[in-house]
Amino acid sequence: MAKNYTVSGNSKDGFRSIGDKAERASFTGRTQKEVIDQTRQSMMKNGGGELRIQSTKGPYRAADTVPPKKDNFPPRG
């Protein structure tokens, strides 16, 4: 099941990644790149989704669709 995440924060307080409809952060870190990489890896393992990156000034600066991990043993059909 795909789950969407939003990365936000600033360099003073740190960055965090929060899933839609979640109350707590799923990932936290000192740099935005660190949090984005952790979130992207988790999303690939768990079915993909949309990763939205919020700028420090408020609006979204980027959005990226993360595909699910490739299935090594797909069902025959």
Distance of CA 60 to the CA centre of its chain: 13
Taking residues 29-44, what's their average pLDDT?
93
Using the predicted structure, report yes or no on whether residue 2 has a pLDDT greater than 80: no
Please classify residue 62 by burial: count the beta carbons closer than 10 Å to its beta carbon, then call 0-12 exposed, 13-18 middle and 19+ buried: exposed
Does the structure show a pLDDT above 90 at 23?
Answer: yes
Q: What pTM, to 2 d.p., does this model score?
A: 0.82
The pLDDT assigned to 57 comes to: 81
Q: What span, in angstroms and rounded, lies between the C-alpha atoms of 1 and 57?
A: 31
pLDDT tens, residue by residue, 43-75:
998 889 999 999 888 788 899 898 887 777 778
